[in-house]
Amino acid sequence: MLEHELFLELRTAVVSENAAIHAAAEFVGLIDVLLGLSELAERNGYVRPELNTDGVIQIEEGRHPVVEKLIAGERYVPNTVHLDNSENQILIITGPNMAGKSTVLRQVAIIVLMAQMGSFVPAKRASLCLIDRIFTRVGALDNLSQGQSTFMVEMEETANIMNNAGPHSLVIMDEIGRGTSTFDGLSIAWAVAEYLHDLKGTGVKSLFATHYHELTELPKVKSRVKNCSIAVKEWNDEIIFLHQLVEGGTNRSYGIQVARLAGMPEPVVKRAKMVLANIENNGHVLGEKKHGAGRRRAKGEFEQLSLFRKPEEIVVDRLMKVDISSMTPLEAINYLSQLKETVLKNGPPPDDSNK
């Protein structure tokens, strides 16, 4: 048939020009990508990133390119992030849910990726070093078909990061350890943060979002760790999210206030406050007074219970066990001196089992 013959002729002609057609398609595709990126940058106020060899990631007033387009009726709050290899290698980011911790983590990773693919970036200014790989541990999911829980998947992804990240990588960790008991989760999160700090003797640039406020103690033992938090404003026992990354950690998650915002019934919110107050004041849900419990706080003042006892509480316990009558004045002075020195070093008091 004539139609079939024409088709065969056309096919033969196309095959003979295969190389030229492929080259033209690649060129058109390149133009399409560049045009799309340039139009995106022009419409949304992106800037050309600078590349540096100093190992610094400096993003001034960075924005998440997707989130800023999705929010309606409100202004996107930009954030400034600084990472380097000397003082700000790991940022511990605390703050309540919905405040914007995850958005900050993701926007840094996206800006780094966009810059290295040749795109302008959503920021006022950006100076970035080259990153060989971006590792992320975000979100919560399970793998039922393989019999893996959310926590197991989380640990496997974290292990992959620990085993493959290098000094020129960027690591994004979002609340690891939350799928198991509080003590286990905190211990894992603390150990992971320390490992990232000490990785291959140089450490790796990392953003570490967490609700374990005990991790804000890390800068005391690791020099390149810094605390940041997402600012909120309290008003009439409610919170207003400012979505602003600021220096310094926080010791509150505002979980009950967030539950109220989510529509939790008021009786549940009130009961949760009562349970929290009992735990904070008495160290027990039912309110039984326990030895060594923390101070009673003013009505309406809520603070997350620390998993690590304060040095002064441990010192009091040790002093209660000391047999003063069997000690000489010199022994007593030496013992007090040891306790003072230990507290200043934030370590455990000396063993007094032989006193």
* 29 shares its domain with 94: no
Averaged over 250-256, what is the pLDDT? 79
Averaged over 13-38, what is the pLDDT? 93
* 37 shares its domain with 144: no
Query: What is the count of structural domains for the chain?
Result: 4
* 241 shares its domain with 100: yes
State the CB neighbour count (10 A cutoff) for residue 207: 24
| Residue ending a domain, choose from 253, 273, 296 | 253
* 217 shares its domain with 151: yes
Q: What percent of the chain has pLDDT over 90?
A: 49
Q: Is 299 a domain residue?
A: yes
What average pLDDT does the structure give for the chain?
83
* 44-53, 60-69, 149-158: least confident range: 149-158
pLDDT at 226 over 70: yes
Q: Is 353 a domain residue?
A: no
State the pLDDT at residue 284. Answer: 62
Band (pLDDT 50/70/90 cuts) for residue 308 is: low
Q: What is the pLDDT of residues 174-187, one digit of tens each?
A: 988 887 778 888 99
pLDDT at 346 over 90: no
pLDDT at 134 over 60: yes
Q: Is 355 a domain residue?
A: no
* 103 shares its domain with 142: yes
* 147 shares its domain with 185: yes
State the pLDDT at residue 349. Answer: 46
pTM reported for the whole predicted model: 0.73
State the pLDDT at residue 35. Answer: 95
* 10-19, 68-77, 296-305, 321-330: least confident range: 296-305
State the pLDDT at residue 301. Answer: 45
* 93 shares its domain with 163: yes
Band (pLDDT 50/70/90 cuts) for residue 148 is: low
Q: What is the pLDDT of residues 193-207, one digit of tens each?
A: 999 999 999 999 999
* 161 shares its domain with 230: yes
CB-count exposure of residue 30 (10 Å: 0-12, 13-18, 19+) = exposed
Q: Is 236 a domain residue?
A: yes
Q: What is the CATH number of the domain that holds 157?
A: 3.40.50.300
Averaged over 322-343, what is the pLDDT? 76
Q: Is 260 a domain residue?
A: no
Greater confidence (78 vs 324) lies with: 78
* 219 shares its domain with 157: yes
* 32 shares its domain with 53: no
* 56 shares its domain with 143: yes
Averaged over 73-95, what is the pLDDT? 93
Q: Is 350 a domain residue?
A: no
Structural domain including 272 reads 265-308
pLDDT at 188 over 70: yes
Q: Is 352 a domain residue?
A: no
Q: What is the pLDDT of residues 322-331, one digit of tens each?
A: 777 777 777 7
Q: Is 6 a domain residue?
A: yes
Band (pLDDT 50/70/90 cuts) for residue 138 is: confident
* 144 shares its domain with 70: yes
